[in-house]
Structure 1
Amino acid sequence: MGIDVSAVGRSAGPVKVEWDSRDAMLYALGVGAGAEDPLEELSLTTENTEGVTQEILPTYAIVLAQRTRDLSIPFGDFNPAKLVHAQQELSMHRPLSVEGEVCLTNTISSIWDKGSGALVTIETQGTVPDTEQPWFTSRASVFIRGEGGFGGERGPSSTSNIPERDCDEQITVATRPDQALLYRLSGDRNPLHTDPAFAANGGFPRPILHGMCTYGITARAVLRAAELSPSSLQSITGRFSKPVFPGEDLTISMWQEADGIRFQTQDSDGDIVLDQGVLTTTG
């Protein structure tokens, strides 16, 4: 059947999802908090350190929808091993709490024919339960290789927004060989990141790291480098350009611009893996 373009506008939910402080800490560990020095970032990795108030990384909002199957929306018949995360946006309308409950609704907002594959965007709206108050909006675009050419519109094209000057700051973060095994415990159990046979079916020599793990590592690093509180994050966006394998080093370059902090992430070979990044904060 291939891609079902009639799925645009199709929704699932609302569904209430809960999380607690343990979930917040597990996610932080999954995106590398405390890996370099366990006595650093204790506000993200502990709940009982004297004089330290626990915080939560706002990018955890993106993975909340993965904690329930009730929000899945079918949009065609294709090889799931050919699906990769292509782009991710997050807008926070209020800070994420360390524990709580949110009401989630998923909607397929667009399906574009990119020729070599299909680009599908799913929008997740998070609201405060039993109210109309918005909490966050997440837009995830996935690319299904080999499923293009169905005659649909190509959609908008993106161009680089990275300044043509040396970056203002650059840091390198090491990922663990078992990073995907740890990160998956926050909700994304896609076997592409753990099963060698499944990964091979998708054309990869071994399981790849979750795109959202690379995204979370980058967001954490940018916030930390800029000495910003996680609760100050207003929005973040980035485009995935190449898979990362667990155990690789990630080098994050940052540029301070009027519209926020622009960033770009490279792998151990110097290839760009996360591009066109922008992080904005309140205040």
Structure 2
Amino acid sequence: MSVSPWRGRDLGTRTVAYTERDAILYALAVGARASDLDLVYEEHLRVLPTFGLTLAQWAPDALGALGAFDVTTAVHGAQRLLVRGPLPRSGELTTHARVAEVWDKGSAAVFEVEVTSEYFVATWSLFAPGCGGFDGDRGPSAPARAEGAAARRLSVDTHHRQAALYRLLGDRHAMHMDPAAARAAGMPRPFLHGLCSLAATTLVLAPSLGAHPAELAELDARFAAPVFPGDRLDVTALPDGNGAVRFQAWAEGRTALSGGRARFRSAPPTGGHPTQEENPDA
């Protein structure tokens, strides 16, 4: 087995400042309602853990800028997040990044960019066509699907302005806004950021377990197909014990999120009381 020369590459350290306004804008961008006062009102503010991912977006972008892959064809394949502690309402966040692993998928490679901070460890999996074939390890297989009689049915309604709003948090890749850039990336029109649809899903997963979304402790999911602004996400969630849930989501019949798992610190060990249909906007 060979090893990619990018494996272990240090991407440096960066310190980013943010305010309560940024944290509130983020919550609104991923679908928080005006009535969610502890997410959108500074008097009661709790910062969503996934907000930290917007502050660390520089790391996968930095790897692309170094020429590791073609930034016009590489896509965000999966995301992991381990929460070490709650983010302050405002302040500065220092993150350090490195290429933790490079998997050889034959015609493509998967770059795992790991970002560490005092408050979280986050890993971007970037699927890069044309970068494989170096006789390396293929990496782990896909996780099991969230299916079973006890699975809960949830829904997330995205809106047509959501990608335009979310990009203000730092991910300004043109394919999420510019129709021509989206077509160049093989999409019929601009599509929603994967991290936006994933964070929006955690907002409905948490209450289904009797938890608060700000108590997210772990998150892992693969981006299987694009979500377009205005799509409805149909989510299947299967409680997995100890405040955890396995999930997957469909957008207009397409599997959008697969192999998902989330765990919340405040969830009861049993995962709360299951229902067949749950929608916080109902």
After TM superposition, the score normalised by the length of structure 1 is 0.85
- The count of aligned residue pairs is 262
> Which residue, 126, 137, 150 being the options, matches 2:121?
137
Is 2:273 aligned against 1:279?
Answer: no
> Which residue, 126, 151, 163 being the options, matches 1:180?
163
Residues 233-272 of structure 1 show CA distances to partners (whole Å, capped at 9, x for unaligned) of 2111111111111111011221112251111111122x22
Could you tell me how far apart the structure 1 residues matched to 2:102 and 2:230 are? Answer: 33
Could you tell me how far apart the structure 2 residues matched to 1:69 and 1:92 are? Answer: 18
Gaps of 5+ in 1: 128-134
**Which residue of structure 2 lines up, in the alignment, with residue 72 of structure 1?**
62
- Measured on the aligned residues, the alpha-carbon RMSD in Å equals 2.1
Change (3 A) 1:92 1:78: closer
Residues 134-173 of structure 1 show CA distances to partners (whole Å, capped at 9, x for unaligned) of x210011011234433433312222314243341x22222
Give 1:1-283 correspondences, 5 Å limit: 5-34=4-33, 38=34, 40-48=35-43, 53-66=44-57, 68=58, 72-74=62-64, 76=67, 78-127=69-118, 135-167=119-151, 169-258=152-241, 260-269=244-253, 271-282=254-265
Could you tell me how far apart the structure 2 residues matched to 1:86 and 1:140 are? Answer: 8
User: Contact 1:65 / 1:71 at 8 angstroms: preserved in 2?
Assistant: no
Residues 192-238 of structure 1 show CA distances to partners (whole Å, capped at 9, x for unaligned) of 11111111111111111111111110112211333312342211111
Give the share of equivalent positions with the same residue, in percent: 35
Deviation at 1:106, TM superposition (A): 0.6
Could you tell me how far apart the structure 1 residues matched to 2:257 and 2:114 are? Answer: 20
Could you tell me how far apart the structure 2 residues matched to 1:70 and 1:273 are? Answer: 21
Task: For residue 137 of structure 1, give the secondary structure of its aligned residue in structure 2.
Answer: strand
Gaps of 5+ in 2: 267-282
**Partner AA of 1:215 in structure 2:** L
**Which residue of structure 2 lines up, in the alignment, with residue 131 of structure 1?**
none
Residues 25-60 of structure 1 show CA distances to partners (whole Å, capped at 9, x for unaligned) of 1111111111xxx3x212212224xxxx11111111
**Partner AA of 1:31 in structure 2:** V
Could you tell me how far apart the structure 1 residues matched to 2:103 and 2:70 are? Answer: 18
Change (3 A) 1:19 1:185: same
User: Contact 1:10 / 1:73 at 8 angstroms: preserved in 2?
Assistant: no
**Which residue of structure 1 lines up, in the alignment, with residue 273 of structure 2?**
none
Task: For residue 117 of structure 2, give the secondary structure of its aligned residue in structure 1.
Answer: strand
Could you tell me how far apart the structure 1 residues matched to 2:72 and 2:29 are? Answer: 22
Task: For residue 7 of structure 1, give the secondary structure of its aligned residue in structure 2.
Answer: coil
Residues 44-78 of structure 1 show CA distances to partners (whole Å, capped at 9, x for unaligned) of 12224xxxx11111111111112x57972355354
User: Contact 1:199 / 1:208 at 8 angstroms: preserved in 2?
Assistant: yes
